[in-house]
Amino acid sequence: MTTDKYLLRRFDTQNEEAIDTSILESIPFDYPGSNTEVVYETDEFTSVCPWTGLPDFAHLIIRYFPDRSLVELKSLKYYLTSFRNVGILQEHAVNRIQRDLVSLLDPCSLEVEASYNERGGMRTRATARYQR
């Protein structure tokens, strides 16, 4: 039967150790206490399903109120790109990004939201929030 060959098909994935947190850099924020909201958005966030290796594409929004540090944008782009071949659940990806950025920045608050493209007739939106 021709469909059986597709049931066993799997693409190689990387585990979460491939997520490159070492590339993340912070830069000083000169206006602590200013209640400044910083928002970064991309339509190019990708990771893969940990079971099939098929790609998950998402519109990603990172929203935070910095205290004394900002994330350096080029380092953020490289960090997010390191998810490209990582097998991670969609709900876990937003929590991992939130955890890594909170660890780097110690912000007043931070939110990561991902709206994933439809797959199998279902769309997913996952949000992870941090409040100091």
Cα 77 to the chain's mean position, in Å?
10
Measure Cα distances from 50 to 7, 78, 97, 123 in Å.
15, 21, 17, 17
Which is catalytic among the residues 12, 30, 43, 56? 56
**Cα 88 off chain centre by:** 10
Tokens (6 digits) for 32: 């602590």
Q: Is 106 one of the annotated active-site residues of the chain?
A: no
Query: Cα–Cα distance between 58 and 42 in angstroms, integer?
Result: 8
Annotated catalytic residue within 12, 30, 43, 49: 49
76/74 Cα distance (integer angstroms) = 5
Would residue 67 show up in a list of annotated catalytic residues for this protein? Answer: no
Type of residue at 35:
N
User: Active-site positions?
Assistant: 49, 56
